[in-house]
Amino acid sequence: MSSIINTKIKPFKATAFHQGKFVPVTEQDLAGKWSVVVFYPADFTFVCPTELGDLADFYAKFQEIGVEVYSVSTDTHFTHKAWHDASETIKKINYPMIGDPTGAITRNFGVMIEEEGLALRGTFVINPEGEIKVAEIHDLGIGRSAAELFRKVQAAQYVANHDGEVCPAKWTPGEATLAPSLDLVGKI
């Protein structure tokens, strides 16, 4: 399996349910800003609403640091609307919910479970140039944390804006970073 880190996202066209409307979404909508794309298996399931609700709770924080969030499943945008109308948790969502019924986007990101027609739990952080900077894939039974994702986005933004610096484990804004050098080898 080859890594997709630092590769450009592939072109796509889709329809999303977003703030009560059906809207077109393409890779161009992600251009010029930081984006998070979160794949999940299916609407009307169990772990998925807990994750999407958690993201909804953090959405304003993502927006404050210039990040747009997109959720994607192989359901249609119509199903996203029905789920939004039926679930108090999903009603909290203000980010676009992309429908990918053909699985094209899901395959582009390498998270399609072909025999089931569903996505694995895939999380991708994409920089303004359209390059994937974080890729994390979970099995279906393992839920993700919006707080940890938020920290990773902050680290990716920091590294992008501070040439020669890297963020150590558990780094958060305001904490010390590292400048890799020969002097640090064996000292950490």
86 class by beta-carbon count within 10 Å (0-12 exposed, 13-18 middle, 19+ buried): exposed
Are the beta carbons of 52 and 40 closer than 8 angstroms?
yes
Element counts in the chain: helices (H) and strands (E): 5, 9
**Residues with catalytic function:** 48
3-class SS of residue 132: strand
Query: 34-39 and 21-26 as β-strands: parallel, antiparallel, unpaired?
Result: unpaired
10 Å Cβ neighbour count for 148?
11
168 class by beta-carbon count within 10 Å (0-12 exposed, 13-18 middle, 19+ buried): exposed
Rounded Cα–Cα distance for residues 71 and 44 (Å)? 14
Which residues have a Cβ under 8 Å from the Cβ of 176 and sit 6 or more positions away? 168
